[in-house]
A and B are shown apart, each in its own frame.
Chain A
Amino acid sequence: MGLQQEFKTLFIEHEKCNGCRICELRCSFAHERLFSPELARIHVVKWELDAIDVPVACRQCVDAPCMAVCPTEAISRHPETNAIIVDEEKCIGCKMCVIACPFGAMQMHPVTNKAITCDLCGGDPQCAKYCPENAIHYMTPSEYVAYRRKEKTKKLVGKKEKRSPIPQAS
């Protein structure tokens, strides 16, 4: 038996992100069937002068400040994915959760004016599925840590991807 119950969440390697914003469109399409970065729950913050791109999304905090400050108990955990869920009926649009979130991941829906955030697409997050650079991982913390350790030690054993600039006919 394990020491604790772990939940999967999004782990983003921003150094891999090239800023294509496919994650934003996948998110809005998954939730609204519309293509609109404005309606996405994940946002790529861009620093173009230095070519730095940082996707920002809900961290699914263990001690979630949004949940703690919500005056109407509209924020809860999904029983299976453990994702932060906002109950649209209970939400009064006070934006306390927006203020409380340390990452700017909690936002207001521009049409309904209720709080929205990443719900992990019910356990199949589309941003992670479609990121062309595999910069977004849907893993448990231990899985991600193991992955990172392995990635970072690849260099030590000289594992380098074989590449050629000339297209190799298939």
Chain B
Amino acid sequence: MLKGYAGQILFVDLTKRKIVKEPLREDFAKLYLGGRGFNSRFLFDMVSKGIDPFSPENIVAISNGPLCGTLAPSSNRYTVTAKSPMTHGVGYANSGGHFGPEMKYAGYDTIVITGKADEPVYLYIDDASVEIRSAKHLWGKDTFETDAMLREEIGDEKIQMLYIGQAGENLVYFSAIINNLYRAAARTGVGAVMGSKKLKAIAVRGTGYVEVADPDKFDAFIDQTLQKIYDDPAYPSLSHYGTPFLIDLAYLGGGLATRNNQTGVFEKYEEVSAETFNEYYRVKSESCFSCPIHCGKYARVRSGKYKGAKGGGPEYESIVCIGTKCGIGDYGAIIYANELANRYGMDTISLGDTIAFAMEAYEKGILTKDMTDGIELRFGNDEALIEMIKKIAFRDGFGNILADGTKRAAEKINKGAEKFALHVKGLEPPAYDVRTAKAFGLGWATATRGADHLAALPNFELLGYSPEKGVEWFGSPKAVDPYATEGKPRMVYWHENFGTAVDSAEMCKYTCFSAYAVKPEDLALFINYAVGWNLTGNDILRIGERIYNVERLFNLREGISKSEDRLPDRFTKEPLPEGPAKGQVVELDKMLPEYYKLRQWDWETGYPKLSKLKELGLVEDAKKYGLYVK
């Protein structure tokens, strides 16, 4: 049996209530590695062209990775993949916590859900035993209630679960899948697809083990890597303050996204600073499985209007998207809003962005009080934010319009609202204002799942490296300047390929991309010692590139053309009006052609060139749908 892997894939057809287990093939594992890679391949092969994302023909694929469940630092993640209701292209989201390893110990690398149940169900996996159980009593419950009820019902404290809240049941487009109460596989609406299948939850208990091919070398290499992680200058920031430390970084760079990205300077910065969070709201860290970093925080509101609100987070992305982008500088409101998003099961990025968009429309007079159910939807109005979150989760009144996300809400509202409807391919943008980080800007435009900071995560441009290092890594001394465009296409190309492999090994990007403690050649060693292969760093990059191109082919096949590798005008045509980055825009036109050249994608059609497809072994797939150029 293949070491490192669980060795088994579980197929569950909810329509026929059929459960099939198949062994994992080594050749498949070697091409797609695991996690995101397995899922993207299953999506491409199992979902036929042009289906409705909410139809039974869609799939929900859930995979952990070859390092998951071991001591390889922070390799606990799992990815969920489906055709996205937001983008109608590849939809995927990943999450940490403790679910991924438990699923592996139960004996599965991947779970693929197909079909649709005729009534609410949940899946209960107890090692080899797999049952589809009724979830009628859980339907309508939030994630916290679902967690408690399943724990009680199954009677095993050690089960791990993922579940949707009411938002997923109500097909809110940006619904998340939640695990361990506070961790979310949030983006692209994978929770809504789960809801469309009437699948409320998956509970899993695994009492097995993961065995690696060379325990001694694996162990020694962990020691080496841990040292690099602990020596990383970002380690104390990330470990103690958690991602809120990025608020301070964004503020210093003039890119703290404010009021639907109308500016990068937030006047209430101090109220949302990392130090304010640390001093008044942080209770402790709460870690994912087998992670030495512990960036997750647990927070509590001790006084004021939102006294008593508590829970995991809020992460930097949430603080910005449901906070500063909505003009809100009160951690009490942000923590409470974050708790609601976790309970109802929604992506805080898309949720906050969509409300911020509506607030701008309201302030511009495009929306009026009679259209918003009497809610004064102004920037900075925390009560309006809370009220809208509840209305969206239940698709109540005006919430029903916002529940479809920014792009579709703008189409319905019309009257010029499209101009400031911020999205790429239908997915709302993350926190960092990319006018202050150009590689991130390019990365949003080229990410396969829409506006996404994690597809590339080119932290390299933000870390204050020397110009020499810029030349060494990406061929330009300016690669280390976040406002510059030089060297950025190469940076994004490399980061996307490596990042895709990291997502497929299901190691956390904070280990690989915060100080590059794990580079492609290091990831190769981890996998070699675990599985017994002889991969090189270049093999890792090629695996990443292969998966990236499968996702690209899927998008092209679904009609997402080259013209959608773009950014909203706000980022390319409206210069930042004030602050340290005053005057900055993303010069996408300067970067995109070079990026296409590196990818060997045709500039006219956006299709991959045959030579690249040959190198990646994807010729047949591209030919099947006519998606290639010579």
Contacts and interface: CB of A to CB of B under 8 A. Distances in A.
Interface of A: 15, 18-22, 25-26, 28-29, 32-39, 45, 48-49, 51, 53, 110, 132-133, 163-170
A168 B237 CA distance: 9
Contacts of B236: 163, 167-168
Contact of B208 (A38, A132, A170): A38
24 contacts: A18-B285, A18-B294, A20-B287, A20-B288, A20-B289, A21-B290, A25-B70, A33-B215, A34-B209, A34-B211, A36-B207, A36-B210, A49-B144, A53-B286, A132-B292, A132-B294, A165-B273, A165-B274, A165-B275, A166-B237, A166-B252, A167-B245, A169-B233, A170-B233
A146 B273 CA distance: 37
User: Which of B252, B283, B290, B312 lies at the interface centre, i.e. has the most chain A CB atoms within 10 A of its CB?
Assistant: B290
B278 interface: yes
A49 B290 CA distance: 20
Contact of A168 (B233, B248, B312): B233
User: Which of A32, A132, A165, A166 lies at the interface centre, i.e. has the most chain B CB atoms within 10 A of its CB?
Assistant: A165
Contacts of B483: none
B106 to A, nearest CB: 11
B471 interface: no
Contacts of A164: 237
A51 B292 contact: no
A51 B144 CA distance: 14
B597 to A, nearest CB: 34
The 10 closest A-B pairs by CB, nearest first: A36-B209, A165-B274, A20-B287, A51-B298, A165-B245, A18-B287, A34-B209, A167-B233, A167-B234, A18-B285
A36 B215 contact: no
A51 B287 CA distance: 10
A21 B298 CA distance: 17
B70 A166 contact: no
A35 B71 contact: yes
Given A38-B105, A51-B286, A168-B236, 19 more contacts: A18-B294, A18-B296, A19-B286, A21-B290, A22-B71, A22-B291, A32-B209, A35-B71, A39-B209, A48-B180, A110-B207, A132-B294, A163-B240, A163-B241, A164-B237, A165-B248, A167-B245, A169-B464, A170-B233
A33 B210 CA distance: 10
B61 to A, nearest CB: 24
A19 B292 CA distance: 11
Contacts of B208: 36, 38
Contacts of B215: 29, 33
A133 B284 CA distance: 12
Contacts, number: 104
B328 interface: no
Contacts of A29: 71, 215, 219
Nearest to A20: B287
Nearest to B68: A35
B181 A35 contact: no
Contact of B181 (A49, A168, A169): A49
Nearest to A43: B158
Interface in B135-180: 144, 147, 157, 180
B189 interface: no
Contacts of A18: 284-287, 294, 296
Contacts of A34: 209-211
Interface in B200-220: 207-212, 215, 219
A20 B209 contact: no
A53 B284 CA distance: 11
Interface in B178-209: 180-182, 207-209
B9 interface: no
Contact of B248 (A19, A32, A35, A166): A166
A25 B233 contact: no
Nearest to B283: A51
Given A33-B215, A35-B212, A167-B234, A51 B464 contact: no
B373 interface: no
Contacts of A32: 209
A48 B288 contact: no
B244 interface: yes
Given A163-B240, A165-B245, A28 B209 contact: yes
Interface string B453-471: 0000000000010000000
A53 B157 CA distance: 13
B290 A20 contact: yes
A25 B464 contact: no
A153 B241 CA distance: 24
Contacts of A26: 71
Given A20-B287, A51-B286, A51-B298, A165 B241 contact: yes
A48 B181 contact: yes
